[in-house]
Amino acid sequence: MKVIFDELAKRELEDAFEYYECEVPGLGEQFRHEIRYGIRRIAQYPLAWTPEAPEIRRYLIHKFPYKILYSIETDYIFVIAIAHCHRKPEYWIDRIFENQS
């Protein structure tokens, strides 16, 4: 199934990549690899992961404290956020309503 990223989710991915890459060279690329792996799994088995909110599911990233939040649309998966698991819980909720209008 096709996967589409919210623009803010793309920015979150790049910000986390840059942070990890600055901390330890190569760690950012490892983070990006884990995200890609998660996206592939979500595309293959969209219903396999736990609901986070109505119509929103979460995929927990291995080795990093992040989760991919996504919705299953008719023809695609929509990635709402690449969210840190310990910062500002549910900050991404407003994005759901922005994308529905």
**pLDDT tens digits, 46-71:** 999 999 988 999 999 999 999 999 99
Domain of residue 55 covers 2-100
Q: How many domains does the chain have?
A: 1
Residue 56's SS3 state is strand
Burial annotation 21-39 (CB, 10 A radius, 16+ → b, else e)? beeeeebbeebbebbeebb
Residue 92's SS3 state is coil
Q: What is the CATH number of the domain that holds 32?
A: 3.30.2310.20
**Local structure of residue 46 (DSSP, 8 states):** T
Give the pLDDT of residue 31. Answer: 98
Please give the model's pTM, rounded to 2 decimal places. 0.87
- DSSP H helix total and E strand total for the chain: 3, 5
